[in-house]
């Protein structure tokens, strides 16, 4: 037999092939329905705030990107909104993260965020020391019992000092 649904009324037609023809044999069956259960399960994904590193420049370092580390966004789905917490200005390291509830995912310009189970993972913000070289001025004179002074100030080489900062 070859069952097939032929309309939206849950009508089943059972057919058999007989001498090159298809014959309806549905009346030979006492059909009862037991409906199945369809369940849409949320897609699990994990988003990690990307680690960020820079050399000290006097300005705060923030997260500006993320990576999907577990799961996958299906074709056509994209993160259209996301916000981050945390900053690091001075030399050192701290955690930064994606703000809970800030992630918005769209498909065909429609918000589909509610179909995702999203786990958020912290990232790292790291500011490294700015390399500079301080060169002191030089002077010389013959011994005369008067103090030796140097009219030259310090010279800063390497990446130099950040604007507004001085020795």
pLDDT in tens, 107-136: 999 999 999 999 999 999 999 999 998 888
**Averaged pLDDT for residues 131-148:** 86
Q: Which residues contact 164 (CB under 8 A, 6 or more apart)?
A: 58
Q: Quick one: pLDDT at residue 107? A: 96
The pLDDT of residue 2 is 47
Question: For 8-35, what is the mean pLDDT?
Answer: 77
pLDDT in tens, 27-67: 888 877 777 888 889 999 999 999 999 999 999 999 999 99
């Amino acid at each position: 037999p070859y069952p097939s649904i032929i309309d939206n009324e849950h009508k089943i037609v059972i057919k058999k092939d007989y001498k090159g023809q298809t014959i309806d044999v549905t009346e030979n069956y006492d059909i009862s329905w037991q409906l199945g259960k369809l369940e849409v399960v949320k897609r699990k994904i994990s988003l990690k705030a990307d680690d960020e590193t820079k050399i000290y420049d006097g300005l705060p370092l923030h997260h500006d990107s993320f990576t999907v580390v577990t799961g996958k966004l299906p074709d056509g789905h994209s993160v259209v909104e996301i916000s981050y917490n945390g900053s690091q200005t001075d030399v050192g390291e701290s955690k930064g993260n994606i703000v809970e509830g800030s992630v918005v995912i769209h498909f065909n310009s429609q918000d589909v965020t509610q179909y995702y189970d999203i786990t958020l993972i912290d990232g790292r913000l790291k500011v490294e020391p700015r390399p500079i070289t301080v060169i002191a001025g030089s002077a010389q004179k013959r011994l005369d019992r008067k103090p030796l002074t140097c009219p030259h100030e310090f010279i800063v080489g390497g990446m130099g000092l950040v604007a507004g900062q001085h020795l």
